[in-house]
């Protein structure tokens, strides 16, 4: 069986997300969950960067626009925050693209839009 990438770190990130979801509930705007996550990461001592700008290249040419990750946690884990009905395939494909851009081994999508927190773990192969 393959070893889980960043098991302990992702456990801590999801724990912070669960605390936010348990405290705020569901049905709020996405930005409010991001604000609360930022506070929770600080409380737990989890290093993060919010709305981190990442350069995008096409055939070795830097594109004029940047990709902004919702959060980059522990230096190289991409965390995408949603507040919708369900996690959809488009978000999964988008996050996999983000992993390639950031050269990150792990992406997490968390969705605060349901009664129970939804999460999806994505590993760049």
Note the pLDDT tens digit of each residue in 9-22.
999 999 999 999 99
Q: Look at residue 74 and tell me if it is in a domain.
A: yes
Instruction: Report pTM.
Output: 0.91
Determine whether 11 is exposed, middle or buried from the number of CB atoms within 10 Å of its CB (0-12, 13-18, 19+).
exposed
Residue 97 counted as domain residue: yes
Alpha-carbon distances, residue 100 vs 4, 55, 93, 113 (angstroms): 19, 11, 11, 27
The CATH number for 20's domain is 3.40.1350
Residue 2 predicted with pLDDT over 80: no
Q: What share of the chain is helix, strand, coil (3-state, %, to 5)?
A: 40, 30, 35
**The total number of structural domains that make up the chain:** 1
Residue ranges making up the domain that contains 45 = 7-123
């Amino acid at each position: 069986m393959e070893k889980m990438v960043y098991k302990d770190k992702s456990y801590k990130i999801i724990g912070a997300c669960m605390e936010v979801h348990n405290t705020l509930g569901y049905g709020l705007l996405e930005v409010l969950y991001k604000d609360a996550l930022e506070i929770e990461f600080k409380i737990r001592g989890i290093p993060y960067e919010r709305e981190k700008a990442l350069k995008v290249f096409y055939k070795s040419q830097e594109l004029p626009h940047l990709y902004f990750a919702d959060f980059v946690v522990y230096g190289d884990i991409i965390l995408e925050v949603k507040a919708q009905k369900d996690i959809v395939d488009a978000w999964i494909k988008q996050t996999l693209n983000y992993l390639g851009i950031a050269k990150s081994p792990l992406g997490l999508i968390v969705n605060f839009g349901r009664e129970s927190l939804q999460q999806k773990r994505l590993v760049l192969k």
